[in-house]
Amino acid sequence: MERASRPAYRQLGSYAGKILNGAQPADLPVQQPTTFELVVNLKTAAALGLTVLPSILARADEVLE
């Protein structure tokens, strides 16, 4: 399951509300995220046979064991 930040959920809700109120999806502006979150899942990395470098772990916003 993918994770999304709270602002992304808010943006999704705003878009859904506009569409439910009759807006055409093609007429809605494209918005890009202003922040990104780096989450490393060590269990999944191990299952895939990947080694996560310590420098990546140090930069991660969240590390899942």
pLDDT digits (tens, 9 = 90+) for 26-65: 999 987 777 788 999 999 999 999 999 999 999 999 999 8
* Banded model confidence at residue 4, pLDDT cuts 50, 70, 90: low
Count H helices and E strands in the chain, helices first: 3, 2
pTM for this entry: 0.57
In this predicted structure, the answer to whether residue 21 has a pLDDT above a threshold of 90 is: yes
The continuous run of DSSP H or E covering 8 comes out as helix 6-20
Measured CA to CA, the distance from residue 35 to residue 9 in angstroms comes to: 13
Contact predicate 40/8, CB 8 Å = no
Dihedral class, residue 34 (left if φ above 0, else alpha if ψ from -120 to 50, else beta): alpha
